[in-house]
């Protein structure tokens, strides 16, 4: 039977306007493809490892309904845009872009593929149709780690290897400092910027420089295990990040802030499969188990363990926020009055160091 031209046009228009949430029965019969973009190698610990762990958890939970693929070590910028677009054209119905620098490329490609669900990890952009933002409140774990660091340091100098001077990283530095100084007001934190998320050589060099400056506890916001390894070699302390990194420094690692993405990925894909997914921005911490604290080193005294557990419980119950005043900036000016709590919007745009950070932010 020949279909009239007018009906053809109507059918084509209907297909073009079909909402993202509607899947045909033919589509539903086949597993939905979810694709992941990673900024560094997966390895066996670190940022990308935790995202891939979440991917595998989701794939297991939704076995037969979802199949996944990934591309690792994708640089931020034009390469990311190319990879994300190729995923969209190759049948990926959900794309998870897992690094801050993927934000603009993801936003651009999302506009071009309205029937694909896009999820961007970290960053701050999203839209109301097919582009969601998700992140974890890493700073909560940093504050808790800071308490341990403040109690365990002998030199009162803490070192921090940091990637880029963006709010997410500044939040961690400030929270770590606030946590440390809540138990030890003599502490100072020294920061070295490496301007990369993942470069074990640069990370190690920065760690060794901080140790040479008499830092005896190290923290980092980078992706590799180099900092924990350097501390182990030099007989100093450090914190893992993203993953429990104790196997790289059983004596050195005091604890770690661990990221958990599996539940978020699973629930997101359940919504896509059900046909009722809508973009929703998520910023979760201890209370929704998007972060957790690794077991404390046996060298940590019992009273410090108890203090950590008390603060964790307060954060989980939303009765305590690490960014509760009084907070002074590093020039000694009160920026958050006593009893006042910074809003999510203020924390999300954080662009200053608190009192106790000895280093200066790079000039813009």
CATH of residue 343: 3.40.50.2300
Q: Are residues 237 and 331 in the same domain?
A: yes
pLDDT of residue 263: 98
Using CA of residue 49, residue 178, residue 293, residue 230, what is the dihedral sign? Answer: positive
Same domain assignment for residues 163 and 189: yes
| 153: nearest Cα among 126, 127, 189, 120 | 189
Reading the chain (364 residues) residue by residue, the pLDDT tens digits are: 344 444 333 333 333 333 444 333 334 469 999 999 999 999 999 999 999 999 999 999 999 999 999 999 999 989 999 999 999 999 999 999 999 999 999 999 999 999 999 999 998 999 999 999 999 999 999 999 999 999 999 999 999 999 999 999 999 999 999 999 999 999 999 999 999 999 999 999 999 999 999 999 999 999 999 999 999 999 999 999 999 999 999 999 999 999 999 999 999 999 999 999 999 999 999 999 999 999 999 999 999 999 999 999 999 999 999 999 999 999 999 999 999 999 999 999 999 999 999 999 998 7
Clarify whether residues 182 and 38 are in a common domain. no
* 23 occurs within a structural domain: no
- Verify that 218 and 87 share a domain, yes or no: no
124 shares a domain with 77: yes
Q: Which residues contact 197 (CB under 8 A, 6 or more apart)?
A: 39, 40, 47, 99, 163, 164, 222, 223
Q: For residues 63 and 48, state if they share a domain.
A: yes
Please return the burial class of 14, using the count of CB atoms within 10 Å of its CB with bins 0-12, 13-18 and 19+: exposed
DSSP state of 7: H
Given a contact cutoff of 8 angstroms between Cβ atoms, the answer to whether 183 and 307 are in contact is yes
Quick one: 275 and 308 in the same domain?
A: no
**Is 274 domain-assigned?**
yes
Residue 173 is assigned to a structural domain of this protein: yes
Q: Which class for 356: exposed (0-12), middle (13-18), buried (19 or more C-beta within 10 A)?
A: buried
Among 14, 12, 13, which Cα is nearest to 22's? 14
Q: Is residue 167 part of a domain?
A: yes
Task: Name the DSSP class of 138.
Answer: H
How far, in Å, are 162, 211, 233, 305, 311 from residue 236 at the CA level?
A: 18, 8, 8, 19, 25
Domain extent, residue 87, equals: 28-136+261-284
235 plus 113 within the same structural domain: no
Contacts of 2 (CB under 8 A, 6+ apart): none
Residue 364's pLDDT is what? Answer: 73
pLDDT at 200: 97
- Domain-located, residue 223: yes
Q: 116 and 47, same structural domain?
A: yes
Whether 364 maps to a domain, the answer reads: no
CA dihedral sign, ordered 356, 168, 288, 141: negative
Residue 29, pLDDT score: 65
What three-state secondary structure class fits 78? helix
Q: Is residue 182 part of a domain?
A: yes
Tell whether 341 and 214 lie within a shared domain: yes
DSSP conformational letter for 100: G
Question: What's 353's DSSP letter?
Answer: P
Please count the helices (runs of H) and the strands (runs of E) in the chain.
Answer: 12, 14
Confirm whether 315 is domain-assigned: yes
Instruction: Tell me how many domains the chain contains.
Output: 2
pTM for this predicted structure: 0.90
Q: Are 240 and 45 in contact (CB under 8 A)?
A: yes
Both 225 and 341 in a single domain? yes
Mapped onto helix, strand or coil, the DSSP state of residue 29 is helix
Which pLDDT score is estimated for 39? 97
| C-alpha span between 238 and 82 (Å, rounded) | 37
Same domain, yes or no, for 91 and 126? yes
């Amino acid at each position: 039977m020949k279909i009239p031209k007018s009906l053809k046009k109507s059918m084509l228009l209907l297909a073009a306007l079909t909402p993202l949430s509607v899947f045909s029965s033919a589509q539903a019969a086949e597993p939905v493809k979810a694709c992941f973009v990673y900024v560094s190698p997966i390895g066996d610990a670190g940022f990308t490892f935790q995202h891939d762990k979440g991917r595998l958890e989701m794939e297991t939970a939704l076995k037969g309904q979802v199949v996944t693929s990934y591309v690792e070590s994708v640089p931020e910028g034009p390469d990311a845009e190319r990879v994300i677009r190729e995923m969209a054209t190759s049948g990926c119905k959900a794309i998870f872009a897992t690094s801050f620098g993927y934000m603009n490329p993801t936003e651009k490609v999302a506009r071009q593929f309205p029937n694909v669900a896009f999820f961007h990890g970290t960053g701050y952009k999203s839209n109301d149709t097919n582009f969601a933002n998700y992140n974890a409140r890493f700073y909560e774990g940093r504050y808790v780690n800071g308490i341990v660091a403040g109690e365990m340091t002998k030199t009162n100098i803490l070192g921090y290897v940091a990637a880029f001077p963006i709010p997410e990283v500044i939040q961690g530095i400030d929270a770590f400092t606030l946590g440390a100084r809540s138990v030890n007001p003599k502490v100072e934190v020294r920061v070295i910027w490496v301007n990369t998320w993942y470069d074990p050589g640069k990370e190690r060099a920065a760690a060794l420089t901080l140790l040479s400056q008499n830092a005896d506890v190290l923290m980092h916001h980078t992706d590799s295990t180099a900092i924990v390894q350097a501390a182990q070699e030099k007989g100093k302390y450090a914190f893992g990040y993203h993953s429990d990194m104790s196997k790289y420094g059983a004596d050195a690692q005091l604890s770690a802030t661990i990221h958990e993405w599996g539940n978020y990925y699973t629930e997101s894909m359940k919504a896509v499969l059900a046909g009722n997914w809508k973009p929703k921005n998520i910023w979760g911490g201890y209370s929704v188990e998007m972060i957790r604290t690794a077991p404390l080193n046996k060298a940590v005294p019992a009273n410090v363990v108890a203090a950590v557990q008390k603060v964790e419980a307060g954060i989980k119950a939303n009765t305590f926020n690490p960014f509760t005043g009084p907070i002074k900036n590093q020039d000694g000016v009160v920026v958050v009055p006593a009893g006042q709590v910074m809003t999510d919007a203020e924390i999300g745009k954080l662009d200053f160091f608190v009192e106790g950070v000895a280093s200066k932010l790079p000039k813009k």
